[in-house]
Structure 1
Amino acid sequence: MNDKLTEATDEIQFEAGEEVEESLEGEFLQSERTIRTNSADPEIESLHGKWKRGRLVLQPFFQRQYVWDSAKASRLIESALLCVPLPIIYLAEELDNTESVIDGQQRLTSFFSFIDGNFPNGQPFRLSRMKVFPELNKKKYSDLSDELQDKIRYYQIRTVTIRRDSDPDLKFEIFERLNTGAMPLNEMELRNCVYRGSYIKLLKELAEDEVFTELVGIKKPDKRMKDIELVLRFSAFYHSTYLKYQSPMKRFFNQDMEKYKNINEHDATALRDAFKNSVQIIKSLFDKSAFKRFRLGTQNNPNGLWEAQQFNTSIYDVLMGVFYDKDKNQVYAALDAIREGLINLMTTNQDFIDAITLGTSEVGQVRKRFDLTRMLVDSILLNYHQQPRCFSLQLKQELYETDPTCQICGQKIQNIDDAAIDHIHQYWQGGQTIPENARLTHRYCNMARSRNN
């Protein structure tokens, strides 16, 4: 899959092509459990006051962050000014007598943000794209007349509260059934509500790891929890290994969430250590090019390049899954050879290329890409102390800075990662891996030469 990371928005945007999000299969089984509710029509001012006092929880751990834009929030305010009835707000009464918002978080947050003057991200809330009251555009709540302020403060909205003497799991079933709005929850957001417990909290903690966020290119938590889903991808393969993977991917992740939803401290520590080991090694290998694919040049244009704005979850899976149990000192000693080998794998091995681009959630493709990556890395770590076959990155940099011309096609090499150091006297013919036997070429030209030979 090719997954687009937009650094400016701090949001991971998965492109179509790989089965990251699959449709939910079926519904919760019917049950005869009891649900008891209270209905009311409180004013916005009353709900705002309860929230200020901590009695109303807008964002319980299973809820997503605020995602409405200014225009959508402004339309809500305009509806209140017009006294248009709004959909029901669903609440759940907790054991400590607080109330959690099950459905309606975006609406209530919009009302409260307007009254307080700022959105949750700190940006001023000024009305925009008002159709019936265009004269109110660019105005804040404090700019409105007392009459209009009162219309908002005293606007009544219907609430249905699930009492705490109801079955405790029912609010999550209701949460799923209410997931039909204009911006329905994605699969990770649903997991966040269904598989509540210590595991989801651990996944959120790991998603905030400084090295991880740097590698995936975000500065803040993703609004749609896609960063947390990436951590879950690693965790599921860590717990089950790729050899026990069964498609579809969604079910594989859900089963992992169910099994470890109340993860114990011992298992949590082991997972945390494995995750950090992987991201630290991968940062040393690829830094900001991590989890991206390097594309080989062609006969018409021999210059290869990194897919700068493309995030490939298949590459993410294998890199995270291969390095979590590796000794960092051994990897660092063979860092140049491993980096070169991995770039070569994604540019010249057609089986691997197919496994990261075609039918990527199929069992055979998952095992193929993991097997090829693990065999490559293990082979390098096993043999790195012998006569090296790969030239060092330092030598490549020296040759590139001296003359970046490809010694085969005669064209300039545009990117050092597209440069390959070729043995003048071939390695398999006894040629040594020494500077005197090295020449700089395009990866494509070197590969084409090898095929011709």
Structure 2
Amino acid sequence: MTGSTELVDEELAGHEIATEEPDSSGHSSGVEEENLIDGEDVDSDHYIRAPFDPELIDVITKNTTVDLLLSRIRTHRVDLQPDFQRQAGIWRNKQKSRLIESLLLRIPLPTFYAAENDDEVWAMVDGIQRLTTIAEFIEPEAIGAEPLHLRDLEYLGHDYDQATFADLPDRLQERLRETELIVHLIRRDTPEEVKFNIFARLNTGGLPLTRQELRHALMPGAGRDILRHWADSEIFKESTGYGVRSDRMADREMILRFLAFRLTDPLTYGDDDFDAFLRKSMRKLDRLGTTETQVLREEFDKALNAAYDIFGGWAFRKVDRMGGSRRFPINKALFEAIAVNLATLSAQEIAVLVKRHRRVEKHFLSLMSDVDFMSAISQGTGDPAKVRRRFTAIDEMFRAAGA
């Protein structure tokens, strides 16, 4: 990627790229968060739009034991989603050790939440870190982990500092295995939309799940792997200026949106529930063949390379028409509209746009004064009319610049 760094004539003369606060890796970490002015996709209430039969809601409470849950993990009947990262990051050893200490002290753990899939596998939605920690201490081989050594204990440190499960007396080993846990399980026959709604309502932890985290938790399959691998690609990170954090899966949602509108023509999109549309798209990813996936990946890489070569560090971001120095965060709606449009162009057409990148930038700047376009990339971006508006506007921009 060559990366266009020149800016278009006097109108953009004041647009120096603002320095963003870097994360621990040295990369900027700005990204438009959900429920802010920009990037709002669906109603935050997760309300159910269509009537459903309440009799189909099947939620049961399972009083199980640590040993039984470990048995399910061993036989792959619990999906722990090992790549499921939360904003707080992976628990540190101190947090893990204190959890085991709580069990040894017979302090009850919070309730676990899970959903049952068609194969009767439980997808853990709330309690992943807790259950992973328990497995890491008692049966680390079941999850391919190294044995957990207790440290920084608050009450038992003198006797069990650096202890592993094997170091504990038999009575304490038995106490851990026989510890009772409460799991609220949503059975497989519960409608998917209702299932997502229930978890949104029941998610009472300190950090509510994002919509993509819910999709990731409740929809295991090939689609989940595609999003993970593509989000980890250097082309995605570089084209977005390392500006999309991965810990809340914002990167995976952006890629899902790109794929959703490559599998569904944006101009024919008419779904009044954008979240449901993205779920349907994840199901489509599960059914893709190797060849189809490869073609989409080639289009994805081509589009991101082109965006970087045309816009440079401004790719997928709004710009300040008044000449301010602020560099806006990555915008999800701009990402999908620009990337999908570029994915449909030929190599020759892209080469023309790269050569005429100043003209593209000038047309893009004019869109920043278009009230309808700005609304289409800022609020309620899942509305069908707004989807059509932004995709059409970006298509016309490229055509005008390339003419």
TM-score by length of 1: 0.61
CA-to-partner distance for each residue in 1:137-173, whole Å, 9 max, x for gaps? x9544499846964874460235597xxx97444966
Structure 1 pair 197–151 and aligned structure 2 pair: CA distance change class (3 A): closer
How far off its partner does 1:206 sit?
3.4
Question: Residue 83 in 1 paired to residue 106 in 2?
Answer: yes
Question: Residue 380 in 1 paired to residue 398 in 2?
Answer: no
1:41–1:159: 8 Å Cα contact kept in structure 2? Answer: yes
1:92–1:100: 8 Å Cα contact kept in structure 2? Answer: yes
2:106 aligned counterpart, secondary structure: coil
CA distance in 2, matches of 1:354, 1:313: 17
CA-to-partner distance for each residue in 1:235-270, whole Å, 9 max, x for gaps? 23334444344586xx23522532672444375455
Structure 1 pair 41–191 and aligned structure 2 pair: CA distance change class (3 A): closer
How far off its partner does 1:214 sit?
2.6
How far off its partner does 1:294 sit?
3.7
Question: Residue 235 in 1 paired to residue 256 in 2?
Answer: no
Structure 1 pair 225–334 and aligned structure 2 pair: CA distance change class (3 A): closer
1:233 aligned counterpart, secondary structure: helix
How far off its partner does 1:359 sit?
3.8
Partner of 1:422: none
Question: Residue 156 in 1 paired to residue 179 in 2?
Answer: yes
Aligned-partner residue type, residue 226 of structure 1: A
Q: How does 1:4-23 map to 2 (within 5 A)?
A: 7-8=23-24, 13-15=31-33, 16-18=36-38, 19-20=40-41, 22-23=43-44
1:233–1:253: 8 Å Cα contact kept in structure 2? Answer: no
Q: Which runs of 5+ in 1 are unaligned?
A: 299-303, 383-453
CA distance in 1, matches of 2:120, 2:262: 39
Q: How does 1:35-434 map to 2 (within 5 A)?
A: 39=62, 41-43=64-66, 47-48=69-70, 51=73, 53-55=74-76, 57-60=78-81, 64-65=84-85, 67=89, 69-70=91-92, 73=96, 75-89=98-112, 101=124, 103-114=126-137, 133=155, 140-142=162-164, 146=168, 150=173, 153-154=176-177, 156-158=179-181, 168-170=188-190, 177-178=198-199, 179-182=202-205, 183-193=207-217, 198-218=222-242, 222-246=246-270, 251-258=273-280, 261-262=283-284, 263-265=287-289, 268=293, 270-296=295-321, 298=323, 305=325, 307=327, 310-337=329-356, 339-352=357-370, 355-356=373-374, 359=379, 361=381, 366-382=387-403
How far off its partner does 1:84 sit?
1.4
CA RMSD of aligned residues (A): 4.9
How far off its partner does 1:316 sit?
1.4
CA distance in 1, matches of 2:117, 2:267: 42
CA distance in 2, matches of 1:68, 1:208: 18
- Between the two proteins, the alignment pairs up a number of residues equal to 362
2:77–2:120: 8 Å Cα contact kept in structure 1? Answer: no
Q: Which runs of 5+ in 2 are unaligned?
A: 1-19
2:245–2:251: 8 Å Cα contact kept in structure 1? Answer: yes
1:56–1:101: 8 Å Cα contact kept in structure 2? Answer: no
Structure 1 pair 346–152 and aligned structure 2 pair: CA distance change class (3 A): farther
How far off its partner does 1:281 sit?
1.3
Partner of 2:8: none
2:259–2:281: 8 Å Cα contact kept in structure 1? Answer: no
Q: How does 1:436-447 map to 2 (within 5 A)?
A: none
Q: Larger relative contact order (C-alpha < 8 A, sep ≥ 6)?
A: 2
Structure 1 pair 110–20 and aligned structure 2 pair: CA distance change class (3 A): farther
Worse-superposed segment, 16-25 or 186-195: 186-195
Q: Which has the larger radius of gyration?
A: 1
